[in-house]
Structure 1
Amino acid sequence: MPAAESVHADSVSTRESLPLTEDRAEGTEEATIAPRPWFMGEVSLGVFLVVASVIGFLASFELSIDKVRKLEDPSAQLSCDFNPFFSCGSVMAYPQSQLFGFPNQFLGIAAFIFPLLLGVLLISRTRIPGWVMLGLNSGLLLGTVLVMYLFYTSIYRIGIGCPWCMVVWAVTIPMFCVVTGYNALAGNFGARVRDNAFIRVFAANSLLISLLWLFVIFACVVIQFWTFFGSLLR
């Protein structure tokens, strides 16, 4: 009887411990198959936000200086007036450069301050509430919508590219994609979004998606201004 009881106890113990062993195996397998994206680390995400925000801020600041110079002297030659196809000064002459009644450049200066501050806080490992990250996501969404509108009007309506504006485009879109990926994986959009395998794949590759997005924009610019780019190949 003691031997039978021992066997029964071992069997129960094995059954009770089996789910835990399977969970660990599944967790290990998941970690092996889908490693944690780099931007899920506080410091990594913070550094990314700081670098991107500084680049966007400096581009917007340079555009603001050029705008003031252009207002003082309409004939002034700006640092980004490269040729008839790419000229910040030429774009500034159109009403699209002042969508809200003041130069868009000033909006850019203010807009990059918030992600810059959040990036510094993340680097210092300050805990950022989920609703704050969602607020950042909303702001970047609006910024991306504005960027895509300006891209369309600049390239297809005005027919002139603004080099400094393109720098702003090149940082706003990746910031939006990466922060969206972070919020999705962190559960800030809800558990259903976080646990959806399809969404997790896209979220984990958010930076790659942003690079493909920028590549499409670059391809559109090259095609639209092929007269210029084609001449460089001759």
Structure 2
Amino acid sequence: MSASHSSTTDHEHDDAEFGDSGSDGTRFDDGEGHLDPGARSGGPWFMDEVKLGIFLVVSSVIGFLASFELSIDKVRLLENPSATLSCDFNPFFSCGSVMAFEQSQIFGFPNQFLGIAAFIFPLLLGVLLITRTRVPGWVLVGLNLGLLAGTVLVMYLYYSSIFVIGIGCPWCIVVWTVTIPLFCVVTGYNVIAGNLGAGLRDNGVVRAIAGTALIIAVLWLILVYASIVFRFWVFFGSLVG
């Protein structure tokens, strides 16, 4: 066996070992064995599917627990309308007060029940990725679509709670805090992996933006938090003063 052939074989073995292919089996290269930028350690951290899986699991567990606590509080409120809930902090931040409005039951049942179900899917996918189970690209696209719907709902509830109802729901804010990064990071992964099409994957500007997915999520959340502080400055100003 020639040295060049041995080197080629070793290179292919290394590619297989490091998993330089997308979750749908598509390789992150240019078709000639040259790895596409971002496929390995030089790319965003979330292109490592184990790290992405850990992120999905941690975020989903936080969102699930927040939704579960909200569900418990909702049941308590149904049993005793005058009950004081675990997140009834003051007139500005009170889950119980928000639950009294129709926005808390958009689909005819408590929104928090939807949250419990919604976080199970990314949690299971995260476990699969951590165990290095091959997940088809279309499944991650499905997750992306679900997170898109969840983010739209979250932003509607954010606007309704803060600017229409005028009361913040602490546990709801926790759900918003994990849903937005989940959406941004999964979208970034799918763009760079080519799951959303070769056109987006091969566009340098789009790839660069996708690589900053978590930064975008952080900036997004900062705007959300800043608007909450501004909206309830009477409360926050009293803390500062």
TM normalised by structure 2 equals: 0.84
- What is the rounded CA distance, in whole Å, between the counterparts of 1:80 and 1:154 in structure 2? 15
Q: Does 1:86 align with 2:93?
A: yes
Instruction: Note the C-alpha offset of 1:36.
Output: 1.1
Structure 1 or 2: more helix by fraction: 1
Q: Does 1:221 align with 2:228?
A: yes
- Mind listing any 5+ residue stretches in structure 2 that lack a counterpart? 1-29
AA at the equivalent of 1:198? V
- What is the rounded CA distance, in whole Å, between the counterparts of 1:38 and 1:156 in structure 2? 36
What residue is the counterpart of 2:51 in the other structure?
44
- Mind listing any 5+ residue stretches in structure 1 that lack a counterpart? 1-22
1:9-88 mapped onto 2 (5 Å cutoff): 35-88=42-95
Q: Does 1:154 align with 2:143?
A: no
What residue is the counterpart of 2:201 in the other structure?
194
Which of residues 145, 155, 159 in structure 1 aligns to 2:152?
145
Q: Does 1:175 align with 2:182?
A: yes
What residue is the counterpart of 1:130 in the other structure?
137
Rg bigger for which structure? Answer: 1
TM normalised by structure 1 equals: 0.86
Instruction: Note the C-alpha offset of 1:192.
Output: 0.9
AA at the equivalent of 1:182? Y
AA at the equivalent of 1:216? L
Aligned-pair identity in percent equals: 72
Give SS of 1:188's match. coil
Cα RMSD of the aligned pairs, angstroms, is 1.6
Q: Does 1:105 align with 2:76?
A: no
Give SS of 1:133's match. helix
What is the count of residue pairs matched by the alignment? 207
Q: Which runs of 4+ in 1 moved over 4 A?
A: none
- What is the rounded CA distance, in whole Å, between the counterparts of 1:135 and 1:214 in structure 2? 24
Instruction: Note the C-alpha offset of 1:106.
Output: 0.2
Instruction: Note the C-alpha offset of 1:35.
Output: 2.1
